[in-house]
Amino acid sequence: MLHHHPPGGRHQGKGPGLTMDIIGGKDTQIPKGIKERILIIDDEKRICDSLSALLTDSGYEVAAFQNSGEAADEIRTGRFDLILSDIKMPGLTGLDLLRLARTVDPQALVVLMTGYGSLESAIEAINQGVYDYLLKPVEFPQLELVIKRGLEKRRLGRARTFLLTALQSKNTELEARFAEINALYEASRALGSTIKLDVLLDMIIRLCTEVLHARIGSIMLLNDDRTFLTIAAAIGLEEEVIRTTRLPIGSSIAGYVAQNGDPLFVTDVGRDPRFKRENRPERYGHASLLSAPLKVKNEVIGVINIAHRESGEPFGEHDLKLLVTFAGQAAAAIANAETFHKLERRVLELTTLQDIADAMSRAVSAENLQEIIFWGIRNLMPAELSLWFRWNDKDSTLTFAGSAGNTRIDLDFSVKVDPARMATPAGVRDLILSHLPPTEKSHIPTASFSVTLIYGGTGLAYVFCLASSQTGRLSEEDENIAGLIARQAATMYERERSILNATRLLTMGKMISEISHDMRKPLTNIRGSLQILRSRWPELAEGNDLFRTAEEEVLHINELVRELVDFSNPNKYQT
For the stretch 30-84, pLDDT in tens is 455 578 899 999 999 999 999 999 999 988 999 999 999 999 999 998 888 899 9
458: pLDDT strictly greater than 60: yes
Q: What is the mean pLDDT of residues 460-488?
A: 79
What's the confidence (pLDDT) of residue 5?
Answer: 37
What's the confidence (pLDDT) of residue 126?
Answer: 79
DSSP at 438 = P
From CA 109, how far away is CA 194, in angstroms rounded? 64
Q: What is the mean pLDDT of residues 96-121?
A: 85
Asked if residue 281 has a cis previous peptide bond (ω within 30° of 0), the answer is no
From CA 20, how far away is CA 28, in angstroms rounded? 15
- How far CA 237 is from CA of 178, 185, 244, in Å, comes to 29, 27, 12
Per-residue DSSP letters for 77-106?
HT--SEEEEESS-SSS-HHHHHHHHHHH-T
Out of 185-194, 372-381, 383-392, which region has the weakest mean confidence (pLDDT)? Answer: 185-194
Q: Which part of the chain has CATH 3.30.450.40?
A: 192-343
DSSP at 572 = G
397: pLDDT strictly greater than 90: yes
3-class SS at 473?
coil
From CA 120, how far away is CA 102, in angstroms rounded? 20
Q: Which of 1-5, 178-182, 350-354 has the highest mean pLDDT?
A: 350-354
Relative to beta strand 110-114, strand 82-86 is: parallel
For the domain spanning 192-343, the CATH number is: 3.30.450.40
- pTM of the full structure: 0.47
From CA 7, how far away is CA 241, in angstroms rounded? 84
Spatial contact of 221 and 301, defined as CB atoms under 8 Å apart: yes
Mean pLDDT across the chain: 79
Say how many C-beta atoms besides its own lie within 10 A of residue 560's C-beta. 13
What's the confidence (pLDDT) of residue 130?
Answer: 87
3-class SS at 171?
helix
- Where do runs of H (alpha helix) occur along 27-67? 45-57
SS3 annotation, 260-329: HCCCEEECCCCCCCCCHHHCCCCCCCCCCEEEEEEEECCEEEEEEEEEEECCCCCCCHHHHHHHHHHHHH
- Diameter of the chain measured on Cα atoms: 192
- How far CA 407 is from CA of 352, 364, 404, 467, 468, in Å, comes to 22, 21, 7, 12, 12
What are φ and ψ of residue 417, in 5° steps? Answer: -130, 145
- The CATH architecture to which 1-191 belongs is 3-Layer(aba) Sandwich (3.40)
pLDDT digits (tens, 9 = 90+) for 262-321: 998 888 776 766 665 444 544 555 578 899 999 888 889 899 999 888 888 888 888 888
Output helix, strand, coil percentages for the chain, rounded to the nearest 5: 50, 20, 30
Amino acid identity, residue 201? L
